[in-house]
Structure 1
Amino acid sequence: MDQKTEDFYKRLKEELINSTIWPAEYLFKFIVPSDNHKIAVIENSFDNMGAVIKTSTSKNGKYTSVSVNTTMKSAQSVIDKYQELSSIEGIISL
């Protein structure tokens, strides 16, 4: 992980700790190329977490938005999930 990415996660964790009482509901938002395998990887990573997952395909069908609402235990668990999914090629985390 490069320094810029490391700094981003550190700043995000601090903001989450200061603004939220954990455990808490958290809304993850991702945009991925419309590839069923990539979407399934995201959905499967939230399996058995009681997550509500919604997908929406872009107008031209090239990208898919994936929104995942679930209860997370801590700010670190949110960071861990973002880092876990960052290996998906073309994923954008919002």
Structure 2
Amino acid sequence: MDKKTEEFYIRLKEELSNTSAWPSEYLYKFIVPTDASKIEAVEKAFDNMGAVINTNQSKAGKYTSVSVNVRMNSPEHVVEKYLEVATIEGIISF
């Protein structure tokens, strides 16, 4: 992980700690190339967590947005999940 990415996650943890009571609902948003295996990999990362997952394909069909609403235990767990899905090729987290 590069320094800029590491600083982003440190700042995210601090902001989440200061703005939410934990455990708390958290909304992840990702964009992945439209590929069933990549979408499935995102869904599998949140398997057995009670997550509500919505997908929406872009107009041209090249990309799919994946929104995941899930109850997380702490800001550290939020960041751990971002790092877990970061290994999926072509994924964009926001």
Bin for the TM-score computed over the shorter chain: over 0.9
Matched residues, number: 94
Provide the rounded CA distance (Å) in 1 between the counterparts of 2:47 and 2:90. 22
* Structure 1: runs of 5+ lacking an equivalent: none
| Unmatched tracts of structure 2, length 5 or more | none
The whole-number CA distance in structure 1 between the counterparts of 2:11 and 2:70 is: 22
- Offset at 1:4? 0.6
Which residue of 2 is the match for residue 26 of structure 1? 26
CA drift of 1:89 comes to 1.0
Task: Return the offset for 1:76.
Answer: 0.3
- 1:4 is aligned to 2:9: no
Moved >2 Å (runs of 4+):
none
Q: TM-score, normalised by structure 2?
A: 0.99
Counterpart residue type for residue 10 of structure 1: I
1:82 Cα deviation from its structure 2 partner: 0.1
Q: Percent of aligned pairs with the same residue? A: 64
Q: In the alignment, which residue of structure 2 is the partner of 1:45?
A: 45
TM-score relative to the length of structure 1: 0.99
Alignment of 1:1-94 (within 5 A): 1-94=1-94
